[in-house]
Each structure stands twice: as structure tokens, then as C-alpha cells.
Amino acid sequence: MTALLVVLVILLFSVSLWQLNKLFILSKQGLKSDEHPGIATDKDNKYNGYLMIAFAIFIYALVIFTFYRWGITLLPEAASEHGVEIDNLFLASWIVIFTVGILMQGLLHYFAFKYRGEEGKKALFYFDNSRLEFIWTIIPVIVLSGLIIYGLFTWVDVMNVSRDDDPMVVELYAYQFGWRARYAGEDNELGKANVRLIEGVNQLGVDTSDPYSKDDFITDVLYLPVNKKVLIKMRSQDVLHSAYMPHFRAQMNVVPGMVTQFAFTPTITTQEMRESDRMIKKVDNINRIRENKSLDLMALGNEGLDSYEFDYLILCNKICGNNHYNMQMKIVVVEEDEFNDWTAEQTRLEESLNI
């Protein structure tokens, strides 16, 4: 099989070289005596000018096609308070980007078509115009100032955590290749921890002599109450990781040797998100794709795929080793009383580590 493939590749390669050679020879024929096979003639200018217009149409069509075909793949509405602000800023930036992009591509390719070279045509000796240049310096200055100011206000809003918000503290612990969550418990204060204390069942290196550790508890799923600010403190045991929670518009690198943090308020429960129109449509689409794939797999005698149900996710978004592509954790956002019930069921470190 492999040998066949190699032979095939070599064969196809030779054929393409042979064809290229033919093309090369053909392209030399039909030249006038004063023409050179390397220099464009009026005919080349004309054809390539038309192709420029065709290319602009191709770009626009590609944009429309991609939106039509894959618009559904884009992230759904933000499931966090600050995420809405970020999405608005996105929208403002997209308006600027698409306006300028469509205009510039149009002008560039239209000019390339309109002013294609012709024998005897004269180009305009036009080398400077300070007013024009002033205009197209000042317009980006104004637009970008607007975006910078808008962006900075949003950024400060997202990143600043004040004590008045009284956020719930959770530690997110990263290792090759997985995540753990450590909840601070009733005192909302995490016990100290360091990798040097890792031993036996104490896999997160929690300091058992710290009284704050007693009511902490560790889980494999990140449960969050809706509409309550959560401050996620992040710690890594080995290499850089990044906690990426795309549905909440949240991300922060997890750095060995330091504690990083990100705070946000979830606003949509997992259940509500599953029931939103867009998510129903998206999940239906995914399941249709999975069913088709399943049929193919089963035809080959393999196991089929399960049908998919939406869940919020943490993904690792900083290259961290060979299993980087499968370092995930489920986030479940629930109503507050359900969250409290869940909390009550968890085993405290007091008990599991015998503090």
C-alpha cells in the first residue's frame, strides 16, 4: 500500500513536471518578435486586470459563503456579566474592520482593473498631497482613539476585582494533563498550598497545618452558582497552562511559581444555555454530523459515537505537552440553592486528609 502510494506520488510528480514543461514551451509560442516571455504585454495587462475584479468578487463571495455555511459554529451569547461588554466591543470593532476591509479591497482591485496598462496611456505624475495624507492619518487616529478608550474601559472593568463584590473564591489547579478545582468552603478562604507539600493523597500540596484548609474541598467538575461573582485563583504544578472558558469570555494563563486570577459572574445556567434557540440549533447540527460519522464508523465495524449534549468547558490553551489537546474540565452553572445542596455533599479535606 505504502509502496504503491510512493510510486503514485513520484508518477504524478513526473507528470506534473512534464506538463509544466509543455506549458512552458507553449507559452513561448505565438510571441511577437519584440515581445519577451518575461515581460507583460497589453494582453496580459487586460487579462490580469479582469482577474483582479474577479478576485475581489471571490473575496466577497468567500466572506458571504463562510458566514452562511459556518455562522452556526461561532460562540453563542456570552454567559457572563462582563462577557456582554466584551461582545459589544467586538461588535464595534467588527463594524470598523468590515467597513474598512470591504472598502479597501474594493478600491485596490478596482484600481488594478481600471488602470491596467495600455500602450500609449499616460500615468499621472502625482507624488504628494499633504491634505489627503493628513486626512487619512487623522481618520485612523480618531477611530482608533475611540476604540482604545472603549477597549481600556472594558479591560479595566473586566480585570479589576474589588473586595466589595465579595466573590466566592475557588482555586483552579492545573497539571499535565488535567484540572482540579479546590473550593474555599464556608470561610471563603483557601488554605495555603505548595507543590513541595505534595504527598500521597494530598495531590494538590495543601498545607494541612493551615486551619483555613480544613473546610476546603477538591472536585473534578467546576460547579458555579449563577449570578454570583467567582474569583478563580490559578496554580500550576508543572508547566504553563491556560484556563480558557470561551463561553464566559474568560481566559488566564496558569503559571508555575505564581498565582494568577480571573473573576467573572456567570449569568446563564447550563440548563438555560441548553434550552436557548441558538444552542438547540447548534447541537442539532453537531448531532447530525456525529450520526453521519457514526454510520461510517459502524459500517467499518467500529463503535458508533454518542449523541452530544452541551456543557460549558475549560480548555487548556497553552501548549503543555502531548496531551494538550485533551485537557478539559466541565463547568456546571446552577441555581444558588442547587449549588448549596451540591456543596453540602462534598467531602472536606478535614475528613479526606485527616487534618
CB of 344 to other proteins, least distance (A): 31
CB of 63 to other proteins, least distance (A): 7
**How far is Cα 113 from Cα 107, in angstroms, rounded to an integer?**
10
DSSP code of residue 301: T
- Closer residue to other proteins in complex, CB, 257/337: 257
Cell of 187: 470561610
CB of 76 to other proteins, least distance (A): 10
Stated as kind and residue range, the H or E segment containing 50 is: helix 42-70
CB of 213 to other proteins, least distance (A): 18
- Closer residue to other proteins in complex, CB, 136/337: 136
**How far is Cα 124 from Cα 253, in angstroms, rounded to an integer?**
54
Cell of 77: 451569547
Stated as kind and residue range, the H or E segment containing 34 is: none
CB of 355 to other proteins, least distance (A): 21
CB of 108 to other proteins, least distance (A): 5
- Closer residue to other proteins in complex, CB, 194/209: 194
Q: Which residues contact 164 (CB under 8 A, 6 or more apart)?
A: none
Sign of the alpha-carbon dihedral angle for 316, 318, 320, 324: positive
- Closer residue to other proteins in complex, CB, 89/168: 89
Cell of 159: 480585570
Question: CA torsion 303→304→306→308, rounded to 10°?
Answer: 140
- Closer residue to other proteins in complex, CB, 252/333: 252
Q: Are 266 and 224 in contact (CB under 8 A)?
A: yes
- Closer residue to other proteins in complex, CB, 160/337: 160
Measured at the CA of 16, the angle between CA 12 and CA 20, to 5 degrees, comes to 170
**How far is Cα 161 from Cα 167, in angstroms, rounded to an integer?**
9
- Closer residue to other proteins in complex, CB, 93/347: 93
CB of 340 to other proteins, least distance (A): 29
- Closer residue to other proteins in complex, CB, 305/348: 305
CB of 181 to other proteins, least distance (A): 18
**How far is Cα 200 from Cα 208, in angstroms, rounded to an integer?**
13
**How far is Cα 109 from Cα 46, in angstroms, rounded to an integer?**
13
**How far is Cα 3 from Cα 249, in angstroms, rounded to an integer?**
49
Helix, coil or strand: residue 151: helix
CB of 308 to other proteins, least distance (A): 4
**How far is Cα 146 from Cα 140, in angstroms, rounded to an integer?**
10
- Closer residue to other proteins in complex, CB, 129/354: 129
Residue written as grid cell 466572506: 63
